[in-house]
Amino acid sequence: MDKNFYITTPIYYPSAKPHMGHAYSSIIADFFARFKRIDGYDVYFLTGTDEHGLKIQRAAEKKGLDPLEFCNVISKTFKDLSNTLNLTNTDFIRTTEERHKKSVQHLWSELEKNDDIYLSKYSGWYSVSDEAFYNEDEIEELDGVKVAINSKSIVEWIEEESYFFRLSKWQKPLLDYYEKHADFISPESRKNEVISFVKSGLKDLSISRKTFSWGIKVPNNKNHVIYVWLDALTNYLSALNYPEINNELYKKFWPASIHLIGKDILRFHAIYWPAFLLAAKIDLPKKIYGHGWILTGDEKMSKSKGNILDPIKVIDEYGLDALRYYLIKEVSFGNDGNISQEKLEDCNNSDLANNYGNLCQRVTAFAIKNCDGNIPNKINFQNDDLLILNKYNDNLNNIRKNIDNQNLNFYINYIVNSLFEANKYFNDQEPWKKKDDQERLNTIVYTALEIVRKISFLLYPIIPESSLKALKIFNISENEINLSSISNNEYLIKGNYINKIDILFKKIERSND
RNA sequence: GGCGGGGUAGCUCAGUUGGUUAGAGCGCAGGACUCAUAAGCCUGAGGUCAGUGGUUCGAUCCCACUUCCCGCUACCA
């Protein structure tokens, strides 16, 4: 069984500062990366920035900067964001890097070699900000300016020589591929959209531009730069040193396990990208997952409410783990989700502070007071104890299966239920009434500590920082966390010292506005 | 216009291959406890499962129509 896992986020377009959508994609990807890592997989987790194109070139000119200088600055804000989000990405790729340029040009040559590229002429309405051409029927006039109907962005008439990719030729192979690989596009509803789009007919795709220079040059024709999407998508390969397909990274991690993307860029990933790869005779990624958007609902955008969409500000105010937890718990994965201050506060207080944080606190405080500050030595499990402990064992494969199907909500609900059960167990067993029966008291404490440990392992991919803080109780460090050990009921070493820990989650005073 | 998804407790959402009292979390009310971050536990209130009609012994779940929301896509201009 292949124990390698390659997950990617989209590479972000640094023409504006990071927003919640970027944070969401990255956090979800990091969740999967961490989960797979503690389950014994060798994980390659890629994120980065997409830095070419006319939009960037113009933004740089506006600031009087060289495009690369401009990108250096903004790319860094995204790199900083990945630190702020505590991402465990193994690599951060920039499309302005030499390794990427080589990959893209090689991929181009392959497409050309296989007769999938031809030179022709294109004329049409082009939107710089959308990086897309529009048909006459896709634009309208607004205040005397021509704009794209969908995006309302300004379009300009462009007529130029352009290279084309024979996308039309791949319509049938793509449809066959979708049919043979039922999991290729997820969730199901997105897959249906893609299929119906492809069925409606594919036109050849213009894949070069002459009107600006900020991009990767077409091999053997310096007048053209390569279309940004062909450029950008290739990052998934260039990070693995493509075209050196015999190198360690490429052999190990291609094809990618999953490209995690937002639903807005599904077409590029589920149609163009596979077509390019088919044409270049490269294996296709195993799955494209188009997740939903994070919305604020239709609340008025007061100053404070507006901030809820700025991940940095949210993290400043509530902490990273509160945000990570919220996005994974409260958003039905695959659908759009809402975020609001009230719900974030609610979620932090009830799930994290009251339920998980307090459980850690009550169990350790009790253990320290009543078991000499050590993990109890002399224990004797009874049915009640084994019943709750074994539940983790029984569900391990179920958990894995659900994660492989991106069923995040199953995972978190499983944890939340476990927390309820854990608190109930401690309540029902009433160890504070067992002070005349030290062995029973010890057993209850040991069981409760084991549960805290197991749950903290499970929470690690979601709220890594807090999970690690909790695991300090047992002096367990990050590299010791492994999923399969949640089936071990006596993982904790008896007699070891128990560390008192600080409050894990402060409760947030309810803001009333 | 076509295709697809959806309208389930105050809020966010599960669910039902049609079958006696429709679920969870949060919020709300009451209770017992005290190890703990006034946390946790127990109990309860709260829903004509968008509307109308149909199929069926029986529909929240199937069908038709109506209405509202969302996504993809087209046409007209």
ipTM, interface predicted TM-score of the complex: 0.89
Total domains present in chain A: 1
Q: Tell me, what's the pLDDT at A142? A: 67
Residue A210 token pair: 């002459």
List the A443 CA – B26 C1' distance (angstroms): 33
Residue A453 vs residues A254, A313, A317, A459, A479: alpha-carbon distances, Å: 35, 31, 28, 10, 14
Predicted TM-score (pTM) of the model is: 0.92
Q: Tell me, what's the pLDDT at A137? A: 63
Nucleotide nearest to A360 (CA to C1'): B36
Answer yes or no: is pLDDT of A256 > 90.
yes
Q: Which of A9-23, A59-73, A226-240 has the lowest mean pLDDT?
A: A9-23
Asked, for residue A170, whether it belongs to a domain, the answer is no
Asked, for residue A213, whether it belongs to a domain, the answer is no
Q: Tell me, what's the pLDDT at A307? A: 57
pLDDT in tens, A317-338: 899 999 999 999 888 888 778 7
Asked, for residue A426, whether it belongs to a domain, the answer is yes
Q: Which amino acid is at A396?
A: L
What is the spatial distance between Cα A318 and Cα A511, in angstroms, rounded to a whole number?
12
pLDDT band at A513 (very low <50, low <70, confident <90, very high): very low
Beta-carbon contacts of residue A398 (< 8 Å; ≥ 6 apart) = none
Question: Over pLDDT 70: what percentage of chain A?
Answer: 92
Q: Tell me, what's the pLDDT at A140? A: 66
Q: Tell me, what's the pLDDT at A136? A: 66
Asked, for residue A457, whether it belongs to a domain, the answer is yes
- Which residues of A spanning 248-267 put their CB closer than 7 angstroms to strand B? 263-264, 267
For A225-243, what is the mean pLDDT?
95
- Which residues of A spanning 407-426 put their CB closer than 7 angstroms to strand B? 416, 420, 423-424, 426
> Which residues partner with A180 through β-bridges?
none
pLDDT in tens, A378-423: 999 999 999 999 999 888 988 998 899 888 888 998 999 999 999 9
Question: Over pLDDT 90: what percentage of chain A?
Answer: 66
Residue A242 token pair: 């493509």
Determine if strand B comes within 7 Å of the CB of A273.
Answer: no
For A109-124, what is the mean pLDDT?
90
Say what angle helices A54-62 and A67-84 make with each other, to 10 degrees: 100
Answer yes or no: is pLDDT of A300 > 70.
no
Q: Which of A46-60, A153-167, A205-219, A489-503 has the lowest mean pLDDT?
A: A153-167
pLDDT in tens, A126-172: 777 666 667 666 666 666 677 666 666 777 777 788 999 999 999 99
Asked, for residue A440, whether it belongs to a domain, the answer is yes
Q: Which amino acid is at A491?
A: Y
CATH code assigned at A396: 1.10.730.10
Q: Which amino acid is at A347?
A: C
Residue A196 token pair: 């119906």
Q: How far out from the chain centre does Cα A244 lie?
A: 27
pLDDT band at A510 (very low <50, low <70, confident <90, very high): low
Q: Name the residue with tokens 């959308």.
A: A130
Determine if strand B comes within 7 Å of the CB of A357.
Answer: yes
- Which residues of A spanning 365-384 put their CB closer than 7 angstroms to strand B? 365-366, 369
pLDDT band at A366 (very low <50, low <70, confident <90, very high): very high
Q: Exposed e or buried b for every residue in A148-171, given b needs 16+ CB within 10 A?
A: beeeeebbeebebebbbbbbeebb
Nucleotide nearest to A330 (CA to C1'): B12
Number of CB atoms found within 10 A of residue A510's CB = 10
Phi, psi of A150 (to 5 degrees): -70, -50
Angle of CA points A271, A275, A280, to nearest 5°: 155
List the A329 CA – B17 C1' distance (angstroms): 29
Number of CB atoms found within 10 A of residue A373's CB = 13
Return the half-sphere exposure (C-beta side, CA atoms, 13 A cut-off) of residue A281. 7
Answer yes or no: is pLDDT of A2 > 90.
no
Determine if strand B comes within 7 Å of the CB of A140.
Answer: yes
Residue A328 token pair: 């994974």
For A25-35, what is the mean pLDDT?
95
Answer yes or no: is pLDDT of A280 > 60.
yes
Asked, for residue A405, whether it belongs to a domain, the answer is yes
pLDDT band at A511 (very low <50, low <70, confident <90, very high): low
The range of the structural domain enclosing residue A432 comes to 341-487
Helix (H) / strand (E) containing A424: helix A408-429
Asked, for residue A307, whether it belongs to a domain, the answer is no
Q: Exposed e or buried b for every residue in A218-234, given b needs 16+ CB within 10 A?
A: beeeeebbbbbbbbbbb
Give the residue whose CA sits closest to B40 at C1': A423
Helix (H) / strand (E) containing A165: strand A155-165
Better-predicted residue by pLDDT, A142 or A183: A183
Q: Walk across the sheet containing A117-127 and list its strands.
A: A132-134, A117-127, A155-165, A205-206
Q: Name the residue with tokens 């969730």.
A: A187
List the A20 CA – B68 C1' distance (angstroms): 29
DSSP label of A55 = H
Answer yes or no: is pLDDT of A490 > 90.
yes
Nucleotide nearest to A466 (CA to C1'): B37
List the A25 CA – B35 C1' distance (angstroms): 40
Asked, for residue A449, whether it belongs to a domain, the answer is yes
